[in-house]
Amino acid sequence: MKEGQRNVYNAQHQRSPNTPQDHPSPPMNQLFVWRQLLQLDAVKSHLQETSVIAIIALVLAFAWYRRRRGQPQVRSSSVQGEKSRTGKENAEREWGEWTPVKFTYPEFPACTSNLSDIKPIPYRPFRWGQYHVTMGVRDMLWADWIELDNDFPTYYAIRNHRLHSQGENVLRLLPDRPGVVQSARHAAVELAHELSDFVTKRYPSTFTATRDSSGIIKTMNIHPMNVHLELPPSLLKDPSKLVLREVGQEEAEEAMRIAALLVQDDLALMIEGTDGRYYFQGGAICVPGFWRMRDKIGLPLDEIHTTGHVPQFQEKLQNSLERFFKRLSVQKPVIRNNYFMQIVKPENMRRNGTVPTDIPPRKEDEDLIDPLELSWSTTTNGNEDNFVHGRPAHPDAEPIVEPGNLQLRTERQTLRRLPLSGAIVFTIRTYLIPLTELGKEPGVPARLASAVRSWPEGIGRYKGRKNYEQVLLEYLDTCAEEQRRVGGELDNHQGRGYPF
């Protein structure tokens, strides 16, 4: 318990001033009946005090009992019922500790469309006028945790290729760091099960599962890719009790690999340390584009951002972000969006051909399978292995900047806390949209041009504006002008509202 919390606790549990001793003495000449009443009052107060003491004693005994039974950091508990479901027992936890809670997903509808009919969500998360650095998180509906669309087979191929050819550069689970933060092994197994359960319910025509008699998922099928995956056993020793089992490194890595293949998103596991900070202890970051897992793994949230020189992080984000992470509850997931511009190779310079299937996936075939640089922005940042973290971009060759080589790169990020391990899962789903497509969307060119023009200096530098600004703005202005000519005034066209 933190010092401040202890003080609040003590203040709330100090002896009430309204005890029998605090009553003023009645005058000697008062009626007998008054004396009787007073005695009754004293007895009542005494009883109240006794009950308060008894309740405090019970609470303390219970807390002591749970602490004795628990593992050193992920505490086990068999507590169920209302308090357990809402996770309130973790409100006053020691940093780095978590009591597993029972959580039942709210009901959500299955998506009845075929995968091939689901178009990527058209996020266009830029606004007219002034640019403000804020956390920008919004509440998220449960059904929206993972969005799948007809790009899934392409993303699957790229992600699977990266998992094979890049190994621990894209999938990593750090060990416990005693006294600092524990590993994300429990979280990885929990995440694989949570994702499996979610995608089978949300996308039943794409995924099916086999379950054991208590409903725990044993295997997953991804139908469009004809893939069969075997999950490690559930994190619970016994499904009727909230007691966690031990998890080995290999099975945790396998769980993380399965989680990575089930979705189009990159997945980061953030574990609370004993200092209250959240550490990037593991995940599968297959298609980050502009940063590398190896540069960020193990860092606390603030250093992840400061080492990347995220503009205005310390002034505008750090405090609220840290507060937000500590308080994020199991039942309140959130979502945010961001965007960048990305330069890719001109079409005639992209490598053509088919990826060899008779040999294990190789790093050097990545540009064949991923010509639009979803996984790594080679054209902007040069070869991934030579990237120097924290320095301005160093392309290997001067990029050719033309409207046909520019893309909007936009991320849909979600954050939710897992009920058993207490880890926070950060999902990052990246969408690439050719600039030439954006140019045709009503109101979008004018709005994007306004947003880019309003980036403050630091934001512009961070987003690499000087590399493409002139070409981008000229193109957007021409498209906006054309839209105005054909369709009338489009300035301040709000579309469907942020983030669309």
Site residues for ligand HEM per CB under 6 A: 135, 137, 268, 270, 280, 291, 296, 301, 304-305, 308, 310, 317, 321, 336, 338, 415, 426
Q: In angstroms, what is the minimal distance from the CB of 437 to ligand HEM?
A: 22
Counting Cβ atoms within 10 Å, is residue 466 exposed (0-12), middle (13-18) or buried (19+)? exposed
Which residues have C-beta within 8 Å of that of residue 416, sequence separation ≥ 6? 140, 145, 328, 330, 333, 334, 424, 425
Residue 267 or 438: which CB sits closer to ligand HEM?
Answer: 267
Q: In angstroms, what is the minimal distance from the CB of 379 to ligand HEM?
A: 17
Q: In angstroms, what is the minimal distance from the CB of 415 to ligand HEM?
A: 6
Residue 322 or 365: which CB sits closer to ligand HEM?
Answer: 322
Dist CA 365 CA 359 (whole Å): 11
Dist CA 182 CA 402 (whole Å): 48
In the bound state, the residue with its beta carbon closest to ligand HEM is 308
274 token code pair: 């004993």
The strand ranges marked E within 37-149 are 138-139
Dist CA 196 CA 400 (whole Å): 42
Residue 261 or 301: which CB sits closer to ligand HEM?
Answer: 301
The helix/strand/coil state of 457 is helix
* C-alpha to C-alpha distances, 410 to 84, 238, 289, 480, nearest whole angstrom: 37, 42, 11, 21
- Rounded to 5°, the CA angle 337-343-346 comes to 135
* C-alpha to C-alpha distances, 35 to 17, 39, 40, 238, 361, nearest whole angstrom: 21, 6, 9, 60, 92
Q: In angstroms, what is the minimal distance from the CB of 256 to ligand HEM?
A: 14
What is the number of other CB atoms lying within 10 angstroms of the CB of residue 388? Answer: 11
Strand partners, 414: 335, 427
The answer to whether 240 and 252 have CB atoms below 8 angstroms apart is: no
Q: In angstroms, what is the minimal distance from the CB of 390 to ligand HEM?
A: 7
Residue 140 or 243: which CB sits closer to ligand HEM?
Answer: 140
Q: In angstroms, what is the minimal distance from the CB of 259 to ligand HEM?
A: 15
Q: Tell me which residue of 338, 286, 305, 348 sits closest to 451, measured CA to CA.
A: 338
The answer to whether 195 and 207 have CB atoms below 8 angstroms apart is: no
The answer to whether 283 and 268 have CB atoms below 8 angstroms apart is: yes
Supply the DSSP symbol for 161.
H
Residue 232 or 300: which CB sits closer to ligand HEM?
Answer: 300
Strand partners, 416: 425
Q: In angstroms, what is the minimal distance from the CB of 157 to ligand HEM?
A: 24
DSSP H or E segment with residue 490: none
Residue 236 or 252: which CB sits closer to ligand HEM?
Answer: 252
DSSP H or E segment with residue 252: helix 249-262
Q: In angstroms, what is the minimal distance from the CB of 304 to ligand HEM?
A: 5
Residue 234 or 421: which CB sits closer to ligand HEM?
Answer: 421
Dist CA 248 CA 381 (whole Å): 36
Residue 206 or 337: which CB sits closer to ligand HEM?
Answer: 337
Residue 63 or 135: which CB sits closer to ligand HEM?
Answer: 135
Residue 231 or 256: which CB sits closer to ligand HEM?
Answer: 256
Q: In angstroms, what is the minimal distance from the CB of 385 to ligand HEM?
A: 17
Q: In angstroms, what is the minimal distance from the CB of 482 to ligand HEM?
A: 30
Residue 209 or 433: which CB sits closer to ligand HEM?
Answer: 433
Half-sphere exposure of residue 195: CA atoms within 13 angstroms, side-chain side: 30
Q: In angstroms, what is the minimal distance from the CB of 198 to ligand HEM?
A: 19
Among positive and negative, which fits the CA dihedral 28, 30, 35, 37? negative
